[in-house]
Amino acid sequence: MKRNFFWQMIFAKKGSLPMDQNLLALSVMFFENYNRGDFFDEMFDGKSKPRPHYRRLYERFCNLSEEEFEQKRQAVDVSFMRQGITFTVYGDEQGTERIFPFDLSPRIIPRSEWEYLEKGLAQRITALNLFLHDVYHEQKILKDKVVPRWVVETASHFRPEFMGSRVPRDIYIHICGTDLIRDDKGQYFVLEDNGRCPSGVSYVLENRLAMKRAFPNFFHQAGVRPVDLYSQDLLATLRYVSPDGRERPVCAVLTPGVFNSAYFEHCFLAQQMGIEVVEGRDLVVEDDTVYMRTTKGLTRVDVLYRRLDDDFLDPEVFRSDSLLGVPGLVRAVRAGKVTLANSIGTGVADDKVTYRFVPDMIKYYLGEEAIIPNVPTFLASDDKERSHILENLPDLVVKAANESGGYGMLIGPKSTAAEREKFARMIKENPRNFIAQPTLSLSRSPTMCEGNFEGRHIDLRPYILYGDKIRIMPGGLTRVALRKGSLVVNSSQGGGSKDTWVLYGDE
Amino acid sequence: MILLSRVADCLYWMSRYIERAENVARIVDVNLQLLLDSEDLNDSGMASHWMPIVKSTGDEALFARLYDKPDSGSVTDFLTFNRENPGSILSCILAARENARQVRDKISTEVWEEVNRLYHFVRAQNIKRIWASGPYEFYKQIKQSSHLLQGLSDATVVRDEGWEFIQVGRYLERADQTTRILDVKYHILLPSPRDVGGARDTLQWMAVLRSCSAFEAYHHIYGADVQPWNVADFLIFSETFPRSISFCLRQLSESLRRISGERHRYFSNEAERLAGKLQADLNYTSTEEIFRRGLHEQLLELQDCLADVGMELFEAYMFFPVVDPSKEDEEQGEK
| Three-state helix/strand/coil letters over chain B | CCCEHHHHHHHHHHHHHHHHHHHHHHHHHHHHHHHHCCCCCCHHHHHHHHHHHHHHCCCHHHHHHHCCCCCHHHHHHHHHCCCCCCCCHHHHHHHHHHHHHHCCCCCCHHHHHHHHHHHHHHCCCCHHHHHHHCHHHHHHHHHHHHHHHHHHHHHHCCCCHHHHHHHHHHHHHHHHHHHHHHHHHHHCCCCCHHHCCCHHHHHHHHHHHHHCCCHHHHHHHHCCCCCHHHHHHHHHHCCCCCCCHHHHHHHHHHHHHHHHCCCCCCCCCHHHHHHHHHHHHHHCCCHHHHHHHCHHHHHHHHHHHHHHHHHHHHHHHHCCCCCCCHHHHHHCCCC
Q: Which of residues 343-372 of A touch B (CB under 8 A)?
A: none
Residues of chain A within CATH 3.30.1490.270 domain(s) are: 378-438
* Same domain flag for B183 and B168: yes
Residue A447: pLDDT band with limits 50, 70, 90: very high
User: Are B332 and A256 a contacting pair at CB < 8 A?
Assistant: yes
Please list every residue in chain A whose beta carbon sits closer than 8 Å to the beta carbon of residue B105: 267-268, 270-271, 277
Point out the residue among A198, A271, A294 whose CB comes nearest to the CB of B5.
A294
Is the Cβ–Cβ distance between A437 and A378 less than 8 Å? yes
Does the predicted model carry a pTM greater than 0.95?
no
Residue A51: pLDDT band with limits 50, 70, 90: very high
pLDDT of residue A81: 87
pLDDT of residue A16: 40
Interchain CB contact of A231 with B (< 8 Å): no
Which uninterrupted H or E stretch holds A306? Answer: strand A303-306
Report CA-CA distances (Å) from A176 to A121, A152, A197, A328, B100. 10, 20, 8, 26, 30
* Same domain flag for B143 and B216: no
Point out the residue among B109, B116, B328 whose CB comes nearest to the CB of A322.
B328
Interchain CB contact of A425 with B (< 8 Å): no
User: Are B116 and A82 a contacting pair at CB < 8 A?
Assistant: yes
Point out the residue among A83, A267, A312 whose CB comes nearest to the CB of B332.
A312
User: Are B104 and A84 a contacting pair at CB < 8 A?
Assistant: yes
Q: Pick the residue with more confidence: A4 or A361?
A: A361
Q: Which residue of B has its CA nearest to A275?
A: B105
Distance (Å) from the C-alpha of residue B115 to the closest C-alpha of chain A? 9
Please list every residue in chain A whose beta carbon sits closer than 8 Å to the beta carbon of residue B117: 82
pLDDT of residue A95: 63
pLDDT of residue A413: 86
pLDDT of residue A37: 84
Please list every residue in chain B whose beta carbon sits closer than 8 Å to the beta carbon of residue A278: 4
* Same domain flag for B11 and B152: yes
Residues of chain A within CATH 3.40.50.11290 domain(s) are: 229-341
Q: In what order do the strands lie in the sheet with A251-254?
A: A276-278, A251-254, A303-306, A339-341
DSSP secondary structure code for residue A96 in this structure: -
Q: Is residue B333 part of a domain?
A: no
Buried b (16+ CB within 10 A) or exposed e, B137-166: ebbebbbebbeebbebbeeebeeebbbbbb
> What value does the mean pLDDT of chain A take?
88
Is the Cβ–Cβ distance between B50 and B182 less than 8 Å? no
Please list every residue in chain B whose beta carbon sits closer than 8 Å to the beta carbon of residue A263: 101
DSSP secondary structure code for residue A358 in this structure: H
Interchain CB contact of B102 with A (< 8 Å): yes
Distance (Å) from the C-alpha of residue B309 to the closest C-alpha of chain A? 16
Quote the CA–CA distance of A393 and A428 in Å, as a whole number: 13
Interchain CB contact of A324 with B (< 8 Å): yes
Structural domain of B265: 159-319
Interchain CB contact of A89 with B (< 8 Å): no
* Same domain flag for B30 and B140: yes
Q: Which whole number is the average pLDDT over A43-62?
A: 87
Interchain CB contact of A209 with B (< 8 Å): no
Distance (Å) from the C-alpha of residue B101 to the closest C-alpha of chain A? 7
Q: Which residue of A has its CA nearest to B330?
A: A260
pLDDT of residue A3: 34
Cβ count within 10 A of residue A263: 21
A229-341 domain in CATH 3.40.50.11290?
yes
pLDDT of residue B325: 43
Residue A318: pLDDT band with limits 50, 70, 90: confident
Interchain CB contact of A422 with B (< 8 Å): no
* Same domain flag for B260 and B279: yes
Point out the residue among B4, B112, B335 whose CB comes nearest to the CB of A5.
B335
pLDDT of residue A438: 93
User: Are B325 and A323 a contacting pair at CB < 8 A?
Assistant: yes
Distance (Å) from the C-alpha of residue B143 to the closest C-alpha of chain A? 19
Q: Pick the residue with more confidence: A49 or A424?
A: A424
Q: Which whole number is the average pLDDT over A337-362?
A: 95
Supply the CATH classification number for the domain A378-438: 3.30.1490.270
Q: Which residues contact B174 (CB under 8 A, 6 or more apart)?
A: B19, B23, B243, B248
pLDDT in tens, A115-164: 999 999 999 999 999 999 999 999 999 999 999 999 999 998 999 989 99
- With a cut of 50, say whether residue A284 has pLDDT above it: yes
Interchain CB contact of B160 with A (< 8 Å): no
pLDDT of residue A93: 58
Map residue A362 onto helix, strand or coil: helix
User: Are B329 and A259 a contacting pair at CB < 8 A?
Assistant: yes
Please list every residue in chain A whose beta carbon sits closer than 8 Å to the beta carbon of residue B318: 295
State the total domains in chain B.
2
pLDDT of residue B262: 84
User: Are A308 and B320 a contacting pair at CB < 8 A?
Assistant: no
Q: Is residue B325 part of a domain?
A: no
Interchain CB contact of B269 with A (< 8 Å): no
Please list every residue in chain A whose beta carbon sits closer than 8 Å to the beta carbon of residue B330: 1-2, 90, 259
β-sheet bridge partners, residue A411 = A397
User: Are B2 and A279 a contacting pair at CB < 8 A?
Assistant: no
* Same domain flag for B206 and B293: yes
Interchain CB contact of B161 with A (< 8 Å): yes
pLDDT of residue B265: 81
Q: Which of residues 262-301 of A touch B (CB under 8 A)?
A: 262-263, 267-268, 270-271, 276-282, 292-296, 299
User: Are B333 and A2 a contacting pair at CB < 8 A?
Assistant: yes
Please list every residue in chain A whose beta carbon sits closer than 8 Å to the beta carbon of residue B98: 258
pLDDT of residue A94: 63
Q: Pick the residue with more confidence: A242 or A48?
A: A242
* Same domain flag for B148 and B187: no
Among candidate residues B181, B158, B178, the one with its CA nearest the CA of residue B11:
B158
- With a cut of 70, say whether residue A47 has pLDDT above it: no
Please list every residue in chain A whose beta carbon sits closer than 8 Å to the beta carbon of residue B7: 276
* Same domain flag for B99 and B66: yes
* Same domain flag for B5 and B127: yes
Least confident of A335-339, A401-405, A424-428: A401-405
pLDDT of residue B34: 79
- With a cut of 70, say whether residue A463 has pLDDT above it: yes
pLDDT in tens, A65-113: 888 889 999 999 988 888 888 776 665 556 667 788 899 999 999 999 9
* Same domain flag for B47 and B151: yes
Q: Which whole number is the average pLDDT over A267-283?
A: 93
Please list every residue in chain B whose beta carbon sits closer than 8 Å to the beta carbon of residue A295: 3-5, 8, 161, 259, 317-318
Interchain CB contact of B109 with A (< 8 Å): yes
* Same domain flag for B82 and B172: no
Report CA-CA distances (Å) from B145 to B19, B93, B103, B126, B129. 10, 11, 19, 19, 19
User: Are A257 and B325 a contacting pair at CB < 8 A?
Assistant: yes
Distance (Å) from the C-alpha of residue B28 to the closest C-alpha of chain A? 26
* Same domain flag for B127 and B168: no
- With a cut of 50, say whether residue A410 has pLDDT above it: yes
- With a cut of 70, say whether residue A227 has pLDDT above it: yes
User: Are B101 and A260 a contacting pair at CB < 8 A?
Assistant: no
Q: Which of residues 373-412 of A touch B (CB under 8 A)?
A: 404
Distance (Å) from the C-alpha of residue A498 to the closest C-alpha of chain B? 18
Q: Which residue of B has its CA nearest to A195?
A: B335
- With a cut of 50, say whether residue A169 has pLDDT above it: yes
User: Are B6 and A261 a contacting pair at CB < 8 A?
Assistant: no
pLDDT of residue B45: 81
Write out chain B's pLDDT in tens, 335 residues.
789 999 999 999 999 999 999 999 998 988 888 787 776 677 888 888 888 889 887 789 999 999 998 988 999 999 999 999 999 999 999 999 999 998 988 899 999 999 999 999 999 888 999 998 989 999 999 999 999 999 999 999 999 999 999 999 999 999 999 999 888 877 765 555 666 677 878 888 888 898 898 999 999 999 888 888 899 999 999 999 999 999 999 999 999 999 998 888 888 899 999 999 999 999 999 989 988 888 889 999 999 999 999 999 998 888 754 444 444 444 444 54
pLDDT in tens, A305-316: 999 999 999 998
Distance (Å) from the C-alpha of residue B260 to the closest C-alpha of chain A? 9
- With a cut of 90, say whether residue A449 has pLDDT above it: no
